[in-house]
Chains A and B, each alone.
Chain A
Amino acid sequence: MDYDVIVVGGGLVGVSIAWGLSKCGQRVAIVDEGDLANRAARANFGLVWSSSKGLGSAAYSRWSRTSTANWHQLAAELKAETGIDTGFVQSGGFSIRLTPTELERGIASMAKLAGQPGMDAEGTPPLQYEILDQAETRRRLPLVGETVAGAIFSPLDGHANPLRLFAGFHKALKQRGVHYFPHRKTTAIRHHAGAFEVTGEGWRLGAGKVVLAAGVGNTALAPMLGLSVPLLPSRGQIIVTERLKPFLSHATGYLRQTDEGSVLIGESKEATIDHQRPRGPITAVLAERALRTFPLLRNAKAVRIWAAFRVVTPDGYPIYEQSERFPGAFACACHSGVTLAANHALVLPRQISAGALSEDLSVFHSRRFHVPAAV
């Protein structure tokens, strides 16, 4: 056995968990694909956001809220270990609603979300939000467009610099002596003589435990370990502008200004497009809505547009599970790797080290997708 744990996947989910495992005293290795792999980790928007999440799953709402609250600790620890400032700011987020219909829908969906049983729990920050009408939105965000109908504000939400977060984890891992192996695409995993054997072309590594954190790559690997990670295609496109002098310090749901000054504009969801080239009509709609939101961006220049694939399960909520056939094999698949980085770094690894996921994560087991059709 070369390691206590091998983490398959060097994206944000993989490195968060690996870092946490290393803090628990585990000897960890990460195997990762190459530079041009389908990396959701380099396609993050940077939101640390929970307020609007979990309609249909109070457990997910709670999981997101605790992760947001835990982010302060994550940011502090990474800064102390590596000197890298992840730029985490929790000054509240605005979910901007451009039209009265959008605002109505937002209000209805937040009410439904808040009314779900199980939203409150000891130690979990309670859901908090305010509905802002047009006038109030403009009072708080004076630069917002005249036609913006309103917003939903939550003090829980914020943003961070996702690339510095990613770089921070990698630097911390190196300092801790965690072995990172890029250009090692995992093709097979098997359990053999009391250990897991992870193999690819020309290489093989053994460990007592294995964690699948391979994003869209999880689907093919999961069945090898009695796990299941069904995913649906979901392509998102983002426009990035040139650096601009600071004008927006709050995160909004689909537009934020980074601490370097560039503005990121999202978000889109396409299920049928299988390439990563930006599409003109999507770009046009993203840009048009951004200009309705902040008209002062009219002449700001886009310097980059990219598209990437989210890691989305059939109901949109994470999969966290441990294999019944092969205890010691775990799967973690989710989008929102930035928001959840704190829980992935500070909560999950303790459970993985101890050998069992906690009971309150059982709701995220993939068996929820295997419900037989009603007779």
Chain B
Amino acid sequence: MFRRLSDRNETSVSFTFNGVPTMARRGDSVAAALLAAGHCGTRQTPVSGAARGPYCMMGVCFECLVKIDGWPNRQACLTTVLEGMRVETQDGAAVPGQKE
């Protein structure tokens, strides 16, 4: 649903989303990387399980919450992708103590 402008030439960064190897570019936020990879839904709400995804991209809406390297409920738009990062759908409420 998003494509990279051809005159951008940042180096590639690889990460995984729900276990699937995915490419991003250096400097991408996790939210941008997920959108670039075609995922506009990235969590299920803790209230009803409804699908949600990045909305404001600036850290105020809290819709882009995902699990990053095991840490639940991270704002994907405020986190830069790093090589080897493990990103997962935030499935409802966080499990306490999951990430130690």
Contacts and interface: CB of A to CB of B under 8 A. Distances in A.
Interface of A: 143, 242-245, 247, 261, 294-301
B46 interface: yes
Contact of A244 (B71, B95, B100): B95
Interface in B41-68: 46
A242 B97 contact: no
Given A298-B100, A299-B99, 10 more contacts: A242-B93, A243-B46, A244-B93, A245-B94, A245-B96, A261-B46, A296-B97, A299-B97, A300-B94, A300-B96
B92 A297 contact: no
A143 B98 CA distance: 13
A242 B97 CA distance: 13
Nearest to B91: A245
B71 A299 contact: yes
Contacts of B93: 242-245, 261
Contacts of A261: 46, 93
A102 B100 CA distance: 28
Given A243-B46, A245-B92, A295 B73 contact: no
The 6 closest A-B pairs by CB, nearest first: A296-B97, A243-B93, A243-B46, A244-B96, A296-B96, A245-B95
Contacts of A296: 96-97
A297 B73 contact: no
A298 to B, nearest CB: 7
Nearest to A246: B93
Nearest to B45: A243
A142 to B, nearest CB: 12
A298 B93 CA distance: 16
Contacts of A244: 93-96
A295 B100 CA distance: 10
Interface in B80-100: 92-97, 99-100
